C-alpha cells in the first residue's frame, strides 16, 4: 500500500491509509489518501522514501514514495486520478469523487457555504505537462511549479471547489507566507451587475463585522473585472457534516454551539446586518475546541436597505434554504433580525432532537411545514432537554415574529442562564435523543401535503395567510395586520409574554371556571388551547394562567378522542379557533360546536366529517379560513359556506369527489389569497368562480384538469407568490400568462407540457423565481 500526503500541511503517513472524498468541494488539505498499485503487491508507506510528485491537473506538489512499476494516485487537492511510473505521470479516467467518503474531523477546509460549491462535485481537468492556467483564463500565468496561476497578489495553488457563481481556490499570500481560501466570482457571472453586487455585498457584510464567531475577511479585491474575497483556511468541519456523523448532540454542547451562533448574530445585527441563511452548512466548528464561526453572508442584507436601485434582491423573491427559513421569509415578506432567530431555533431543535422540525417531500411541502406545522417540543423527543431550554427553543420557532425573543443578545442571555442552571445541577452528558418515529415526518400533524394550512392563523407558505402573510383583508376590504399563530410561552422570565387575562377577576366567575376545565381537558387529550383571543398555543397545564380566562381556541390532533370527549365542548360559544385535523371526529362530534358561531379558523383535515355534518356551519359567517383537505366532502357540503364573504384561505386539496359545481358556491368571494384545489376534479369552468380574487398569493392546482384557459383567471394576480401546476396540461402559453406576476418566488411544473424553451422564456421575465420542471430546477438569479 502506498501513502501520499501533503508536506505543506504537516500531514503524516498513516498505518491505515484511507481514500478520502472532497466533501461538498470543501476539503483542501487532506491528511492521508490511499493509493492503488497496479499489478504490484502492496508495500508499507513507512518502508519507502518520499518523493515529490506534481499533479498533472491542479499542479499541486504531493509527497509520495518512489513507484515500482505503475501506481495510480488520487490527488487530494482536485480529485484527479493519475498514474505514476518511474518515467513520469499519466492521466487516469477516474476521479477522487468516486471514492468512499471518510473525511476526518480535522480536515483543513476553505469555507464555500451555501452560495458556493454546494452539492456538485467537479474535477479540474488539465493536461499533463507544464503548469497551465488555461482552465481559468482570468488567472495570470503561473510563476512557480506548484501554482495554477496568480490572482492579484496571491499564488493560486489548487482548486477547492466550484459551484453556484464562483470557485474557491487554495492560495498563498506571498507577503505573509500563509495559506488562504480565495473565493472568486466566475467571469460569466461577474459580467452581470446584479450578481456581482451580491457577491461584493457578501464580502462587505462579513468584513464589516469583527467577532470571534464570524469568519474574518482578509481582503476584498478585484483583478481584471473579477472580484475575489481572501479568507482564512479553516480547520475543522461544518455543523452539517458533524450532524451527519453524530446527529445526537449532547445537550450541553448544543447549548454552547447555539449560544456562540447567537453571539455572532448579535454582532452582525449590531452592525445592521441580517444573515438570512443560518443553517448547519453555514456554521463552522473550528479546530479542536470546535469554536463556532458563522459563514457565508452571501444573502445578508442591511436591515435598512430598501428596494431602490441599489437593492440586489427583488421584493417578493424567496431566498434562503426552505427547511431553515422563517415563515415571513418563506412567503417573501420583509424580514428583520428575528428571521435569523427563527433559523437559529431550527438549528438548535435539530441538535437537541437529531431531526429537523420542518420536513417535506419537496419544496412546497417543506414551505408548508415551515409556515403552518408545529413540531413536537424538543423535550418530547429528548427527555434530557431541560424545561427552560425546551421553552426557549419553541419560542424561537414561533410563527409570529413578535412572539420570538426581541434580539440575539436576549437569546445569548437565555442560553447562558440555561448553561448556568445545567452546571449548578451537575447535569450529566445527555443521552442520545429519544426519537419518535411519527415525529420525523410532520405529515400526520400537518394540514395537507401541499397546503399551508395548519398553524393558528394560517400563514402562507402554501397555505395560510393570517400570520405572516402580513396583509389580509377584513369584511370591508381594507388591509389589516394579521398576527402569526403558533408560539409557546417564553422560557425566560424577563421575556415571558403572559396571555391576556380578564381585567376583572370577579367578572363571569362561572364561565371562567368552565373554560378552565375545558382547557385542562383539551391539554390532557394531547392537544392545546388558546385563551382570551391570544395567538399563543398553550400545551401544558402549568402554563395556564391562575386568573380566569376565556377559552377561544381548541387544537386537538389526537386520534384517541372519543365522541363523549367531544360532547364536553358543547356550548363553548367563545371559540374562534377550531383546529381538529387528523382526529376521529365525526358528524356527531362536530355537532357539539354548532353554537360556536364566532369561529374564524376551521381545520378538519383528514377527518370523518361528511357533507351532512358540515350543515352545523351554515351560520358561521365569520370564517376566514376553511381547511377540509383529504375528506370526502362535495358541493353538497360546501354549500353551507356560501355566505362566508370574508374568506381568505380555502384548502380543499385531495377532496377527490369535488367537482366544478361544488366550488361555484364560493363565487363572488373577493378577498381569497390562498387556494388549494390539488387532486380534485375541478376544471377550467370551475376556476371561473375565483376570477375576482385579485389578491391571490398561493395557488395550488396540481393534479387537476385545468389548462391555460382556466389559468387566465389568475394572470393579473400581482401578489401571486407560489404557483403549483404539477401533473396538469399546462403548456408554454399557459406559463407565459404569469410573466407579469412580479412577486412570484416559486413555480412547480413537473409533469406538465411546458418545454425547455418555455421555461427559459419565463425565467428571463421572472429571474427572481425558482422554477421546478421535468428538466431540473432554475434557481433565482
Residues annotated as catalytic are 277
Residue 537 grid coordinates: 398555543
In the DSSP assignment, the letter for residue 348 is H
Contact between 142 and 163 (Cβ < 8 Å):
no
Alpha-carbon gap, residue 132 to 548, rounded angstroms: 79
The radius of gyration computed from the CA coordinates of the chain, to the nearest angstrom, equals: 29
- DSSP 8-class letter at 61: E
Strand pairing category for 649-651 and 674-676: parallel
Q: How far apart are CA 509 and CA 771, in angstroms?
A: 56
Distance between CA atoms of residues 580 and 62, nearest Å = 64
d(CA 187, CA 136): 9
Q: For residue 349, give every residue at least 6 positions away whose Cβ sits within 8 Å of its Cβ, in sequence order, or none.
A: 356, 357, 375, 378, 393, 397
Grid coordinates in use for 309? 436601485
For the record, the C-alpha cell of 558 comes out as 389526537
User: 10 Å Cβ neighbour count for 610?
Assistant: 17
**258 Cβ partners below 8 Å, 6+ apart?**
344, 347, 348, 351, 411, 415
The answer to whether the CB of 293 falls within 8 A of the CB of 234 is yes
Residue 546, classified by CB atoms within 10 Å of its CB into exposed (0-12), middle (13-18) or buried (19+), is: exposed
Question: What does the angle CA 517 – CA 518 – CA 524 come to, to the nearest 5 degrees?
Answer: 90
- List the one residue out of 276, 389, 267, 264 whose CA is nearest residue 343: 276
Distances in Å between the Cα of 693 and the Cα atoms of 272, 564, 601, 772 are 38, 41, 20, 25
> How many whole angstroms separate alpha carbon 322 and alpha carbon 370?
8
Answer yes or no: are the C-beta atoms of 581 and 605 closer than 8 Å.
yes
Beta strands in 550-669 (DSSP E): 551-555, 577-579, 601-603, 625-627, 649-651
Beta-bridge partners for 551: 531
Residue 510: which residues within 8 A CB-CB, separation 6 or more?
A: none
Buried b (16+ CB within 10 A) or exposed e, 264-278: bbbbbbeeebbbbbb
Cα 582 to Cα 569: distance, rounded to the nearest angstrom: 18
Are 323 and 358 a contacting pair, CB within 8 Å? yes
Amino acid at each position: 500500500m502506498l501513502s501520499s500526503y501533503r508536506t505543506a500541511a504537516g500531514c503524516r503517513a498513516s498505518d491505515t491509509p484511507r481514500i478520502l472524498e472532497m466533501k461538498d468541494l470543501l476539503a483542501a488539505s487532506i491528511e492521508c489518501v490511499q493509493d492503488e498499485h497496479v499489478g504490484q503487491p502492496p508495500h508499507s508507506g513507512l518502508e519507502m522514501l518520499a518523493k515529490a510528485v506534481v499533479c498533472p491537473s491542479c499542479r499541486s506538489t504531493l509527497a509520495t514514495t518512489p513507484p515500482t512499476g505503475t501506481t495510480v494516485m488520487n490527488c487530494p487537492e482536485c480529485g484527479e486520478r493519475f498514474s505514476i511510473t518511474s518515467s513520469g505521470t499519466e492521466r487516469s479516467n477516474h476521479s477522487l469523487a468516486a471514492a468512499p467518503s471518510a473525511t476526518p474531523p480535522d480536515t483543513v477546509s476553505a469555507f464555500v457555504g451555501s452560495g458556493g460549491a454546494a452539492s456538485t462535485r467537479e474535477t479540474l481537468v488539465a493536461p499533463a505537462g507544464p503548469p497551465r492556467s488555461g482552465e481559468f483564463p482570468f488567472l495570470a500565468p503561473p510563476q512557480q511549479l506548484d501554482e495554477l496561476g496568480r490572482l492579484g497578489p496571491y499564488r493560486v495553488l489548487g482548486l477547492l471547489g466550484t459551484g453556484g457563481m464562483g470557485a474557491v481556490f487554495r492560495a498563498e499570500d506571498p507577503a505573509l507566507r500563509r495559506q488562504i481560501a480565495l473565493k472568486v466570482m466566475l467571469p460569466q457571472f461577474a459580467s452581470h451587475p446584479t450578481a456581482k453586487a451580491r457577491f461584493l455585498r457578501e464580502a462587505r457584510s462579513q468584513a464589516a463585522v469583527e467577532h470571534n464567531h464570524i469568519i474574518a475577511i482578509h481582503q476584498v479585491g478585484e483583478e481584471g473585472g473579477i472580484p475575489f474575497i481572501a479568507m482564512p483556511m479553516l480547520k475543522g468541519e461544518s455543523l452539517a457534516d458533524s450532524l451527519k456523523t453524530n446527529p445526537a448532540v449532547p445537550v450541553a454542547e448544543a447549548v454552547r454551539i447555539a449560544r456562540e451562533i447567537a453571539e455572532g448574530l448579535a454582532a452582525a445585527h449590531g452592525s445592521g446586518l441580517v444573515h438570512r441563511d443560518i443553517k448547519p452548512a453555514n456554521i463552522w466548528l473550528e479546530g479542536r475546541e470546535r469554536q463556532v464561526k458563522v459563514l457565508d453572508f452571501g444573502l445578508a442584507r442591511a436591515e435598512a436597505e430598501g428596494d431602490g436601485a441599489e437593492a440586489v434582491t427583488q421584493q417578493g423573491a424567496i431566498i434562503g434554504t426552505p427547511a431553515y427559513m422563517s415563515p415571513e421569509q418563506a412567503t417573501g415578506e420583509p424580514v428583520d433580525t428575528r428571521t435569523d432567530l427563527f433559523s437559529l431555533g431550527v438549528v438548535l431543535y435539530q441538535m437537541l432532537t437529531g431531526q429537523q422540525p420542518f420536513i417535506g417531500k419537496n419544496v412546497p411541502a417543506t414551505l408548508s411545514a415551515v409556515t403552518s406545522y408545529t413540531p413536537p417540543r424538543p423535550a418530547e423527543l429528548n427527555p434530557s432537554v431541560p424545561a427552560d431550554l425546551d421553552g426557549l427553543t419553541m419560542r424561537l420557532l414561533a410563527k409570529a415574529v413578535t412572539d420570538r425573543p426581541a434580539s440575539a443578545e436576549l437569546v445569548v442571555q437565555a442560553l447562558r442562564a440555561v448553561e448556568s442552571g445545567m452546571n449548578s445541577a451537575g447535569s450529566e452528558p445527555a443521552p442520545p435523543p429519544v426519537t419518535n418515529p411519527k415525529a420525523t415526518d410532520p405529515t400526520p400533524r400537518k394540514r395537507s401535503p401541499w397546503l399551508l394550512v395548519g398553524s393558528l392563523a394560517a400563514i402562507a407558505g402554501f397555505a395560510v395567510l393570517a400570520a405572516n402573510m402580513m396583509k389580509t383583508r377584513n369584511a370591508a376590504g381594507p388591509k389589516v395586520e394579521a398576527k402569526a399563530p403558533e408560539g409557546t410561552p417564553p422560557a425566560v422570565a424577563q421575556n415571558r409574554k403572559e396571555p391576556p387575562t380578564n381585567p376583572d377577576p370577579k367578572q363571569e366567575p362561572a364561565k371562567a371556571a368552565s373554560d378552565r376545565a375545558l382547557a385542562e381537558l383539551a391539554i390532557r387529550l394531547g392537544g392545546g388551547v388558546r385563551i382570551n383571543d391570544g395567538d399563543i398555543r398553550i400545551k401544558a397545564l402549568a402554563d395556564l394562567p391562575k386568573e380566569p380566562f376565556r377559552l377561544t381556541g381548541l387544537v386537538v390532533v389526537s386520534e384517541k378522542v372519543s365522541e363523549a370527549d367531544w360532547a364536553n365542548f358543547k356550548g363553548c360559544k367563545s371559540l374562534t379557533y377550531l383546529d381538529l385535523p387528523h382526529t376521529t371526529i365525526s358528524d356527531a362530534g362536530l355537532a357539539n360546536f354548532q353554537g360556536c358561531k364566532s369561529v374564524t379558523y376551521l381545520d378538519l383535515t383528514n377527518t370523518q366529517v361528511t357533507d351532512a355534518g358540515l350543515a352545523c356551519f351554515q351560520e358561521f359567517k365569520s370564517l376566514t379560513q376553511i381547511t377540509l383537505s383529504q375528506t370526502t366532502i362535495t358541493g353538497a357540503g360546501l354549500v353551507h359556506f356560501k355566505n362566508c364573504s370574508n374568506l381568505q384561505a380555502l384548502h380543499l386539496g385531495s377532496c377527490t369527489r369535488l367537482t366544478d359545481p361544488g366550488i361555484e358556491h364560493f363565487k363572488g368571494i373577493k378577498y381569497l389569497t390562498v387556494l388549494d384545489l390539488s387532486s380534485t376534479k375541478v376544471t377550467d369552468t370551475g376556476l371561473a368562480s375565483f376570477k375576482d380574487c385579485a389578491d391571490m398569493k398561493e395557488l395550488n392546482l396540481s393534479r387537476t384538469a385545468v389548462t391555460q384557459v382556466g389559468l387566465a383567471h389568475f394572470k393579473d394576480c400581482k401578489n401571486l407568490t407560489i404557483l403549483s401546476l404539477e401533473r396538469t396540461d399546462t403548456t408554454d402559453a399557459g406559463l407565459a400568462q404569469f410573466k407579469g406576476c412580479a412577486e412570484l418566488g416559486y413555480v412547480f411544473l413537473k409533469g406538465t407540457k411546458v418545454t425547455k424553451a418555455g421555461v427559459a422564456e419565463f425565467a428571463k421575465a421572472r429571474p427572481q423565481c425558482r422554477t421546478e420542471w421535468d428538466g431540473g430546477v432554475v434557481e433565482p438569479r
